[in-house]
Amino acid sequence: MFDLDLYRQRIHNVAVEKPNEQTLFDLHYGQFYHLAFENIDIQLGKSIDISRHAVVYQLLHKLRGGYCFQLNALMLMALQHIGFKVKPLLARVHLDKVPSGKTHQLTLVELNNRYWIVDVGFGAGGPRFPMPLEDGSICHHPTANFRLIKTPIWGWMLQTQLKENEAAPLWLNSYSFDLSVVTQADLAVGNHYTSTSPQVHFTQQRTVSLPTENGRISVKNFILTRWQNGEKIQEVLPNNSQYFEILSSEFNLKITEKYSQLKPISATVEQ
C-alpha cells in the first residue's frame, strides 16, 4: 500500500482531492520543489534499487532525493494511488551532441480524454508544470520556457528556452520520447546502465539540484551555484565532512553516510 499521508508530508502537505487537473498540478509542484534531484548514492558506490519498496524507503523514510528512475517512479505511484490513469515512458537525452539511449524515465497521464507529460526527475532544469501532449504546447515560467514538438525522427521532443540566455533565446533539445510500452524490465535496464556505466555523468560527477520560484540551486562536484532572477552566484564547497552538512541544509537531505565513503574528485573550480 502507498502511504499517501507520508507522501503528502514529504511534499509539504499538498492538498489531494480527486484525480483532476488541479491535483495533477499541485502534486507536480509539491514534489518538484521539495524532493531534490541527486546522485549521491551512486557516488557512494551503491547500487540503485528501483523496486516500489526501495523507492518509497529512499525518498519518504530516509528523507533523501534521487534521480529520474526514483523520483518519477514515486510520482507514478502517487498518481496511481489517487486514481489517475498513468504509465511510464522512456526518453533519449539530447543535452550532448550525441543523443543518449533511452535512459530517462517520465510519466504519461491520461485525464478527461487528454494526455499530459509529468516529469519531476530531470533535475531543476526540467519542466515546471505538467505539459499537455500536444504539438507546439509551451510551458511558460519566469526562469525558462518549455515546448513539446513532434519530430519525424525522434517522435516527441521536449525543448527548453532558457531565460538566463535572453541574448540568444534558442529552443534547445532536452529529450525525446515515444508512447511505446515500457516494462519494469525496460526501466531496470535503463537504471542499471545510468547508475553504473563509466560513460555517463552520474558515475563521473556529483550532482544535486532543486528548483526555486525564481531560479534554481545546484551542485556539480565542488561548485554550488545559485541562479536567482537571472543572476548566478557560485561558491566552492569544502572537501571534508562539511560537504554533506551543506547538502543537507541546502537541499533538505538527510545523508547519514560518511563523507570519506564518496568517490574522490579533484577539488577544482568548474564553471
Q: How many alpha carbons lie under 13 Å from residue 74 in its C-beta half-sphere?
A: 33
Long-range contacts of 180-183 (CB under 8 A, 24+ apart): 181/87, 182/87, 182/88, 182/89, 182/90, 182/105
Q: Which CATH class is domain 4-261?
A: alpha beta
C-alpha 244/C-alpha 271 separation (Å) is 21
Dist CA 16 CA 112 (whole Å): 18
Please state the rounded mean pLDDT for residues 135-155: 94
Q: Which three cell numbers mark 197? A: 556505466
**CA-to-CA distance for 211 and 35, rounded, in angstroms?**
10
Query: Tens digit of pLDDT for each residue in 195-217?
Result: 999 999 999 999 999 999 888 99
Asked if 139 contacts 154 with a C-beta cutoff of 8 angstroms, the reply is no
How far is it, in rounded angstroms, from Cα 267 to Cα 29?
Answer: 34
Q: For the segment 80-120, what is each residue's pLDDT rounded down to a tens digit?
A: 999 999 999 999 999 998 999 999 999 999 999 999 999 99
What is the full DSSP assignment across 129-195? S-EE--TTEEEE-SSEEEEEEEETTTEEEEEEEEGGGTTS---EEEEEE------HHHHHHHHHHHH
264 vs 191, which has greater pLDDT? 191
User: At residue 166, does pLDDT exceed 70?
Assistant: no
User: How many helices (H) and strands (E) are present in the chain, helices listed first?
Assistant: 8, 13
**Whether the predicted pLDDT of 271 surpasses 50:** no
Cell numbers at 29, concatenated: 509542484
> Which candidate, 75, 109, 72, places its Cα nearest to that of 187?
72
Cα–chain center distance at 226: 17
CB atoms within 10 A of CB 141: 14
244: which 3 cell numbers?
554533506
Alpha-carbon distance of 227 to 177, in angstroms, equals 29
- Binning pLDDT at 50, 70 and 90, where does residue 124 land? confident
Whether pLDDT at 62 is above 60: yes
**Of the given ranges (14-28, 50-64, 157-171, 219-233), which has the lowest mean pLDDT?**
157-171
Question: In terms of residues, how long is the chain?
Answer: 271
